[in-house]
Amino acid sequence: MIPYGKQDINQFDIDAVVEVLKSDFLTQGPKVAEFEDAVARAVDAQFAIAVNSATSALHIACLALGVKKGDLVWTSPITFVASANCALYCDAEIDFVDVEPTTGNLCAQAFKNKLEHAKLLGRLPKVVIPVHLAGHSCDMQRISELAKQYQVKIIEDASHAIGGHFQGNKIGSCHFSDITVFSFHPVKVITTAEGGMLTTQDSELAATLNLLRSHGITRELSQLTRPNEGDWYYEQHILGFNYRMSDLQAALGLSQIKRLESFVERRNQFAKYYEKVLKNLNIEFIKPLENCRSAYHLFIIRLPEDKDRKSIFNLMRQAGIGVHVHYFPVYLQPFYIKKGYFSGYCPGAENYYANCLTIPIFTQMKEKEQDFILKKLHDIIFDIN
């Protein structure tokens, strides 16, 4: 089976993890701090805070921005459920901004329209979470301008997008946002096995995020109410969580991030070839904005409307090609249906979902595998009734 995504692990990665296994630190230690510094440098951020997953990162990002009971958070319906669930973890409410069917990304015009309506109702969101689907940046300039106008904070869900740029700004630099979140799950651009990262330019947010990821505890002498208690002493200042990354994970991430640029370049090469052939086959696909360099975590095509996706999906799988679908609209999940959401709530999202299909893209994919994928795709799409 050719998977839709796969980690790229080499001997240097293995050696880096083994070195930590032989060291004095297995849980959070010096490698975590080194990895944070490496990510901050890679994305032009002043601060980076490592955690055990992007889900944890989204949770504490909301908390750091003051999301609480009675508040409202907006996000895209075309995403993994964690982008929405993070608001509920804070006892806040979640709502969805429709997407552009051609990109699957949060639509800036829909955001504008929804903000105008929300202001009339006196129910503006505290935070919006645009999601960079497939590694393609949303129109962050326009989203940022609207958010500032209505005093809404921004968390970029860049789980797919490390190594990408928007208008020359690295995703993660927070040029258009308060906090950016990355995922290092194995199918992502780089991996720590499981893990996530938050970046920000705000020192106060960084300090709060550091507390939240580790039980709300600090040992910083300048922050202690009893600074003379002794070297063993620590204080809990807020209610935090055990969301820490281990040194084992960080060592893998440190080794992986050295190849970030080559990983993204390789993915872009595969994407260019896909685009060239698919255009000749008259098969549509989502693509980044002209002023965006995508990390190409995923490559998503749009099937012809008169073709049955389920049949195509099954036939591609039978041919040994691990196609997938990203994503079913979050608000149509049974959990959210119980909260009152319904079919037709975001027409653009449902239009996008109706014919999207993810085809494989990963750094170790071979050119002959890509040709095989394209041939099978063509044969199945145009032979199927």
Residues in a beta bridge with 166 = 169, 292
pTM given for the model: 0.96
Q: Which tens digit of pLDDT belongs to each residue from 312-337? A: 999 999 999 999 999 999 999 999 99
For residue 255, pLDDT beyond 60: yes
The share of the chain scoring above pLDDT 70, in percent, equals: 99
For residue 385, pLDDT beyond 80: no
DSSP per position, 29-92? SHHHHHHHHHHHHHHT-SEEEEES-HHHHHHHHHHHTT--TT-EEEE-SSS-THHHHHHHHTT-
For residue 58, pLDDT beyond 80: yes
What's the pLDDT score for residue 29?
Answer: 87
What's the pLDDT score for residue 36?
Answer: 98
What average pLDDT does range 279-295 have in this prediction? 95
Helix (H, G, I), strand (E, B) or coil at 93: strand
What average pLDDT does range 72-91 have in this prediction? 98
What's the pLDDT score for residue 26?
Answer: 85
User: Would you call 343 exposed, middle or buried from its count of C-beta atoms within 10 A (0-12, 13-18, 19+)?
Assistant: exposed
- Output the 3-class SS for 168-198: CEECCCCCCCCEEEEECCCCCCCCCCCCEEE
pLDDT category of residue 92 using cuts at 50, 70 and 90? very high
What's the pLDDT score for residue 144?
Answer: 98
75 Cβ contact partners less than 8 Å away, ≥ 6 residues apart: 83, 84, 87, 94, 96, 97, 106, 128, 129, 130, 131, 157, 330
pLDDT category of residue 382 using cuts at 50, 70 and 90? confident
Cβ atoms 361, 278 nearer than 8 A: no
What's the pLDDT score for residue 27?
Answer: 84
Q: Which tens digit of pLDDT belongs to each residue from 8-32? A: 999 999 999 999 999 988 888 899 9
Q: Which tens digit of pLDDT belongs to each residue from 117-131? A: 999 999 999 999 999
| Mean pLDDT value across the chain | 97
d(CA 183, CA 210): 17
Residue ranges of domains in the chain, CATH in brackets: 11-255 (3.40.640.10), 260-383 (3.90.1150.10)
Query: Could you confirm whether 188 is annotated as catalytic?
Result: yes
The token duo for 336 is 């959210």
pLDDT category of residue 301 using cuts at 50, 70 and 90? very high
What average pLDDT does range 146-152 have in this prediction? 98
Q: Which tens digit of pLDDT belongs to each residue from 335-368? A: 999 999 999 999 999 999 999 999 999 999 999 9
The token duo for 15 is 């050696």
Given the residues 188, 258, 338, 375, the one annotated as active site = 188
Radius of gyration (C-alpha) of the chain in whole angstroms: 21
Question: Which ranges in 140-284 belong to alpha helices (H)?
Answer: 140-149, 203-212, 247-257, 260-280
